[in-house]
Amino acid sequence: MARPSRGTQAVRALEKAGVAFGLHVYDYGGEKGGGEKGGGEKRAIGLEAANALDLDPARVFKTLVAELDGDRLAMAIVPVAASLDLKALARILDARRAAMADVGRAERATGYVKGGISPFGQKQALAAALDMSALEHASIFVSGGKRGLEIEIAPDELRSFLDAKCAPITR
């Protein structure tokens, strides 16, 4: 099956590694409203993607960037309808505390804009934690590196590619 070239670093990283994945495009309506510190989008871009692609929101995951112990960054991959449990994230990544990273710092570290942060092809290699609920599905959806582009991937492929720790990290 021919795959349309979407040219994001996330897509290139997966293609280079020979990872099996699918691409899904939806119409992203553009910038609306503000956001919160750490990438929490008032607009709920993840839920918008789930609705546009007619997917169960439990299968659509967002990539959040957190600061561990005030100095290092990590990513948490959680369902779009859930909230990240920062204490659980700190625990699974062997940190004393975790806080949401400043949006600017998250964008600089990943190379992606808020609402389009992909767990793949980031500028800096970040420790990763995947919410355990991902394993309940044959495939999940994560950002493809820009708003309006989703990557469908098996949770085990994602976990293996990122060397992600898997645990319940939502509340």
**What is the model's pTM?**
0.88
What is the token pair recorded at 55?
């997917």
Number of domains the chain is built from = 1
Is residue 4 included in any domain, yes or no?
no
Is residue 84 included in any domain, yes or no?
yes
CATH number at residue 149: 3.90.960.10
Q: Which domain holds residue 127?
A: 9-167
Is residue 1 included in any domain, yes or no?
no
Q: Rounded to whole angstroms, how far apart are CA atoms 162 and 96? A: 22
pLDDT for 40? 42
Q: Which contiguous run of DSSP H or E holds residue 50? A: helix 45-52
Average pLDDT on 73-77 reads 99
Average pLDDT on 99-117 reads 96
Is residue 156 included in any domain, yes or no?
yes
What is the token pair recorded at 120?
């793949």
